[in-house]
Structure 1
């Protein structure tokens, strides 16, 4: 797998605490660039972008608890449509961090259609919004490579098929049941394009998953993942 090295971006998970200061709902807006400069034709399915949007962005930034699910799904589909049509896109989340707007920019590296890049104006170290035209060192970003039709992490050296992952997770569930394994199986079904089967499996097994982590610090994490998968599945069905 080819590698790129980015020195000015923090390609890490976002700390969510800064987005949880207020219980008030956030306003989210989506825009697209006026010039057609992108090529996402190499993506094999809707799952690839929708998964990154919900798991790496919405779940990481606690957006599902702060933004109406219908608004969030509409923005996801709008951004995805723009990207597929060749246009860069931007999300603006009004007053998301200490009363300031969080901006998420979606596109690719210049002249490289084998990448997906999200950048932002959020400083990972200071946990603050970066002022306009300021240095973007340490800003939150997400980088994926497009390989064999899939969005692949920069540190991922091997692409494992959804069939193999599903087989492995079903086997592990029999020998060592864990809440997270139930969630992974749902995601495996989504990746395979079996969206309704995945949602049905989630509905059937989410209480079992929660029962496995009673008395631990994990229930909120698993509940968040359940909500994430429910919304992801609905969007994938709507995109069909």
Structure 2
């Protein structure tokens, strides 16, 4: 079994509640979406990756292991395009697994074995240059439901832009709350990079937090990779 891999590297987790923790990242090539703010454009096409076997990926993970590293993060692109490959790798390593996903492929996500943590992006209409397909949100909800049914730790990340409207966040949060999702769900508001673009608009981040906080636990966490100038 093979999959297209952009890179495998060790670094600090730069997003979400595990920010600052040392992890090994396996970045897959290929994505089913085309978000305008994507910071890994090179990973959108499957052709940009190197075809690697499960054994090769496992060997590289083991080579990169350090005492402070407890988690392997499968990222992309969209890693859930390769559910069987991820399952095979997960079965052969002794580290916890984290899936960074857009959540739009619930059937694929349901096939992945040995998942411990899932970071699920909630996409906003403004994330796309073309018309927003509402099935994106519907599938994200399906993914959340199936992950929670399996008692997998899942949190939602919402990337916000300086142009994001408070009404947009309110609508998304209310829809999440109206679903059958447990209200203990963690919501992470992630302001887009560079942070200098937020000059004059940082007040919005406080408002976004207030809106989400009416229903869920919420944190506002920027990416640290640009700040530390690391991958």
Higher relative contact order (CA 8 A, sep 6+): 1
Pairwise same-fold verdict (TM > 0.5): no
**Rg: which structure is higher?**
1
TM-score of the aligned structures, taking structure 2 as reference length: 0.32
